Every structure is written in structure tokens, then in C-alpha cells.
């Protein structure tokens, strides 16, 4: 990926501005009570995008199949709630995370030995396999009709998932907070620095004796675990899971959100889904058929002229202002 500002810094302390997204989220909770279900969705996709950014932006692994882990987490939580009578949300969450991690390490160990098109194809094939299984195993997954009747008990026995999405919003916010802290810690650690090395110059990394392959597998597994968590969250907030959590379109859409925000910059994963989902919420109502046209054109423009996404644009504006000052 082309050079970008931000990223590794020797000082891991959290700057005040980094708390801004969470402050905004709390403000939204009080100011926009009717939009909380959209808000929860945005929070979930931010977590999902963070997980993708770990491998895409930091480790440089291009994947179209990240939805496999998201979908697996979603279905694990759903199956527990609908078929196995396990309705405690925290248990469902942990199970989904574990599933995402297990599949991640299993698939990662196999596919991370390959590169470029082969790797891309393999990621696509994996999510397609997951999609087919979910599609065909109707008694377990509900097949093309999706899994409904998922029972999600109140969190800690106290907080029920209500129609307005209040509980869901706060629940996802807490999950995002924890996930964000974890990712941040990882990136600003020596391990995180080695990821940049892996991305920019794997040959050199080999030369200095860094275990490239195992580091890739490790970061991949962490990423898929987070994706699994995000998947569980979406099932729990909707009390429903359908086939579209898997497959190329879901993974592709996430990629679009992340690129829009800015890859490899941690906060691109915040900005991208926010802008995308809000825009989709507004525009898709006015012009449902033309949404794709706008997204496609925007993508092309971003790739040709604004490779750092929105945060990249913000950066260049800030730099220009600094120069003037």
C-alpha cells in the first residue's frame, strides 16, 4: 500500500483526540434515540473494518473473503441461540470469537504460504465454501431463509435487547471499545512495527530472520477472532442471521468502507463505515437503484486521486494548512 501518515509511533499513549469517536457515540446515544439501530450497525462494522485493517492495512494481506469469519461468528451465535438453547449473549460472543479464531488459524496456516492472485482466490473460495455450507445445511442454518427465532437473553440478566436498540447500541460500543484498545495496543507494539516491515518489504524481513509466516498467521488469527466477535454482535442485535453475512458482496462492501476511510490508519476503519452507512441510509432511500453507481464512481475516484481515502484527504488538507501557518 502506498505510504500513509500515521501508523507506527513510538509513543503508545492514547491522545485525547482518539477518544473523540467514543464521545461522539455517547452523544449520539442521547441526541439521536431513533437512530440507535443504525448506530449499532455502524459500531459493528467499525469493529469488523478494524479487523480487516489489521491484515490489509498493516500486514498487507489482500483478502476478499474476510466475511467468512464474520459470517461464522454470526452463525455460531445464531445457532447457539436458536438451535442449542444457549441464550446468554456473552457466552454466544465468546463462542463466536473462538470459532473465528479457530477457522482463522486453520485457514491462515494453509493459505498464507501463497501470494497475490492465488491468495486472493483462496480467500474468495473459503468464503464461498462457508456460504455454500450455510446455504445447504438448512436444518442447522436455516438455509436461504436465514435463521430466525434466535433467543438472546438480557445481558447479565439485566439489560434486555429492546425494540429501540438502546441496549444493543451500548453493548456494541463496549465491545468496540475493547476491540479498539486491543488493536491499538497491538499496532503500537514492536509486533505491530514488524507488521509494517512485513507489508513493505517481506524479503528484508526474511533476511533479518523475522519469522514472516508465523507472524502473518498470528495477526490473521487475531483479525479473524475480532471479525467473529463482530459477526456475533450483528446476530445478537438483529436476532436474526441470513446468508448475506457471507460471500463476496459482504466482504467486498467492507473493503469499500475501509478504503473509503483510509487503509492502514486505524481510524480509517472508524470513518469509512460511518460515512458509508450513513450515506447509504440516506441515499438508498432516495435513489435505491443508483446507490451502486455512486459507490462505484466514488471508489474509482478514490483510487485514482485520493488513495488514502477520507483520512488521506484530511491529512493533505491539514498539511497544506500547516505549511501556510
Partner 1 sequence: MEGFLSSLVSVAFHGTAFGMILYVISVGLSVTMGLMGFANLAHGVFAMAGGYVLTSMISRYGVPFPLALAIAFAVVGAASVVLERLLYSRLYAASDLEQVMFTIGLIFVAVAVARMIFGTLQQPVILPDYLKGQFPLLGRDFPTYRVFIIAFSAVMVGVLWFGVERTRWGAMVRAAVDNRAMAQSIGIDTGRLFTLTFALGSGLAGLGGALGAEIIAIQPTYPFENLVYFLIVVAVGGLGTLRGPFVAALLIGIADTAIKYWYPQYGAFLIYVATIAALLWRPAGLFGRQHT
Partner 2 sequence: MNLRTTWKIVAALALALGAAPVSAQTVKIGVVNTYSGPNATLGEYIDKGIKLYTKLHQKDLPPGVKVELVVRDDGGPNPDKAKQLAQELIVRDRVQILAGTVFTPNAAAIAPLTSEAKVPYVLMNAGGSVLTTLSPYIARTSFTLWQSSYPLGQWAAKKYKRAYIAVSDFAAGHDCEAAFEKAFTDGGGQIVGKVRMPLANPDFVPFMQRVKDAKPEVLFAFIPAGKQATAIMKAYGELELDKAGIKFIGPGDITTDEELPNMGDVPLGVITAHHYSAAAGRPANKAFVAAWKKEYGQDSNPNFLAVGGWDGMDAIYTAIREQKGRIDPVRTMEILKKYKNPNSPRGPIAIDPDTRDIVQNEYLREVRKVGGKLANVELETIGTAVKDPWKEINHKK
Rounded Cα distance between 289 and 308, Å, is 28
Residue 109: closest CA among 231, 250, 23, 219: 219
- What's the min distance (Å) between Cβ of 275 and partner 2? 18
Tell which one of 10, 163, 304, 325 touches partner 1 (CB under 8 A).
304
The contact pattern for partner 1, residues 250-289, with x = CB under 8 A and - = no contact, is: --x--xx--x---x-------------------------x
- What's the min distance (Å) between Cβ of 155 and partner 1? 36
Q: How far is CA 140 from the centre of its chain?
A: 25
45 vs 58, beta carbon nearer partner 2: 45
**Segment lying near partner 1 (by CB under 8 A), choices 18-26, 66-74, 119-127, 151-159:** 119-127
Tell which one of 38, 133, 140, 151 touches partner 1 (CB under 8 A).
133
DSSP string, 207-269: HTT--HHHHHHHHHHHHHHHHHHHHHHHHHHHT-B-GGGSSHHHHHHHHHHHHHH-TTSSTHH
Question: Which residues, 6+ apart, have CB-to-CB distance to 257 below 8 Å?
Answer: 45, 49, 272, 273, 276, 277
298 binds partner 1 (CB under 8 A): yes
146 binds partner 2 (CB under 8 A): yes
Rounded Cα distance between 28 and 324, Å, is 35
115 vs 160, beta carbon nearer partner 1: 115
153 vs 298, beta carbon nearer partner 1: 298
Three-state DSSP at 159 gives strand
**Segment lying near partner 2 (by CB under 8 A), choices 108-116, 121-129, 137-145, 176-184:** 137-145
154 DSSP 8-state letter? P
DSSP string, 91-123: HHHHHHHHHHHHHHHHHHHHHTTS-HHHHHHHH
Give the one entry of partner 1, partner 2, none that residue 90 binds, where binding means its C-beta sits below a cut-off of 5 to 8 angstroms depending on kind: none
Q: How many CB atoms are located within 10 Å of the residue 290 CB? A: 11
Using CB under 8 A as the criterion, which residues of the chain lie in contact with partner 1 when the complex forms? 1-2, 56, 62, 64, 110-111, 113-118, 120-122, 124-126, 128-129, 132-133, 135-136, 248-249, 252, 255-256, 259, 263, 289-293, 295-300, 302-304, 307
Give the residues lining the site for partner 2 (CB under 8 A): 34-35, 37-38, 41, 135-136, 138, 143-146, 148, 163-165, 234, 238-242, 244-245, 284-285, 288-289, 291
Amino acid at each position: 500500500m502506498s505510504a500513509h501518515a500515521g501508523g507506527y509511533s513510538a509513543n503508545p499513549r492514547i491522545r485525547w483526540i482518539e477518544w473523540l469517536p467514543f464521545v461522539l457515540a455517547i452523544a449520539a446515544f442521547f441526541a439521536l434515540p431513533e437512530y440507535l439501530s443504525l448506530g449499532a450497525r455502524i459500531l459493528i462494522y467499525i469493529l469488523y473494518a478494524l479487523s480487516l485493517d489489521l491484515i490489509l492495512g498493516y500486514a498487507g494481506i489482500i483478502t476478499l473473503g474476510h466475511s467468512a469469519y464474520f459470517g461464522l461468528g454470526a452463525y455460531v451465535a445464531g445457532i447457539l441461540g436458536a438451535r442449542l438453547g444457549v441464550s446468554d449473549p456473552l457466552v454466544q460472543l465468546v463462542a463466536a470469537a473462538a470459532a473465528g479464531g479457530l477457522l482463522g488459524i486453520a485457514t491462515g496456516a494453509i493459505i498464507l504460504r501463497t501470494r497475490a492472485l492465488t491468495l486472493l482466490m483462496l480467500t474468495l473460495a473459503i468464503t464461498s465454501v462457508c456460504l455454500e455450507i450455510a446455504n445447504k445445511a438448512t436444518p442447522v442454518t436455516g438455509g436461504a431463509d436465514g435463521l430466525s427465532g434466535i433467543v438472546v437473553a438480557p445481558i447479565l440478566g439485566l439489560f434486555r435487547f429492546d425494540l429501540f436498540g438502546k441496549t444493543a447500541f451500548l453493548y456494541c460500543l463496549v465491545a468496540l471499545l475493547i476491540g479498539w484498545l486491543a488493536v491499538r495496543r497491538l499496532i503500537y507494539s514492536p509486533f505491530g512495527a514488524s507488521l509494517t516491515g512485513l507489508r513493505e518489504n517481506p524479503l528484508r524481513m526474511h533476511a533479518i530472520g523475522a519469522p514472516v509466516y508465523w507472524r502473518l498467521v498470528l495477526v490473521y488469527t487475531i483479525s479473524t477472532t475480532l471479525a467473529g466477535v463482530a459477526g456475533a454482535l450483528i446476530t445478537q442485535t438483529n436476532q436474526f442471521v441470513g446468508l448475506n453475512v457471507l460471500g463476496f458482496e459482504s466482504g467486498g462492501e467492507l473493503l469499500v468502507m475501509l478504503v473509503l476511510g483510509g487503509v492502514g490508519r486505524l481510524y480509517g476503519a472508524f470513518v469509512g463505515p460511518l460515512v458509508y452507512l450513513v450515506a447509504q441510509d440516506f441515499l438508498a432511500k432516495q435513489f435505491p437503484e443508483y446507490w451502486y453507481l455512486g459507490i462505484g464512481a466514488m471508489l474509482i475516484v478514490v483510487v485514482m486521486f485520493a488513495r488514502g481515502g477520507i483520512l488521506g484527504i484530511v491529512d493533505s488538507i491539514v498539511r497544506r494548512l500547516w505549511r501556510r501557518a
